[in-house]
Amino acid sequence: MRWIGVYIALVAGVALTLAGCGFADVRAPVPDFMRGKAPDPPALGTPPDVKLLLREKLDSVFVAASQPTQVRVSEPRPNLRGPGWTACVKAEVVSVTGKPLGTQTYRIEISDGAIADRQKVEAEDTCATESYEPV
């Protein structure tokens, strides 16, 4: 009788161990045949009208006190870091005291038809090689 209890516990332990041997995550360090299928990337759809977005919400990129002039934008590109699109925006701006600061360039992220984020461009960014059109 005692052996039956040990046998049941052993079978239950093996069953629980084997239950964890399903398909692993896409990035798991297991052989390819054991990995789950990678999800398909979402469809991007049509590129947004960045010029229209900037005309409507220029203050989401440049502070109104900087009085941006000669605003130019690059062609929208699919965002490599997530869903949505990115574009580069340049403008001539002035400081709070009215002193010209020169050209400022920002990379904007567009998600769900709105400007979701902006980042000041670094020297090694690809915005330096983009072609720009006036807004």
Question: In this structure, what token pair is assigned to residue 110?
Answer: 């567009």
- pLDDT above 70 (res 29): yes
CA atoms lying within 13 Å on the CB side of residue 119: 11
Report domain extents, the chain: 1-34, 50-134
Which pLDDT value is given to residue 1? 65
Residue 128 to residue 82: CA distance in whole angstroms = 22
Residue 56 to residue 2: CA distance in whole angstroms = 79
pLDDT single digits (tens) 48-85? 999 999 999 899 999 888 999 999 999 999 988 878 89
Q: Are 83 and 111 in contact (CB under 8 A)?
A: yes
Residue 127's CB is within 10 A of a number of other CB atoms, namely: 17
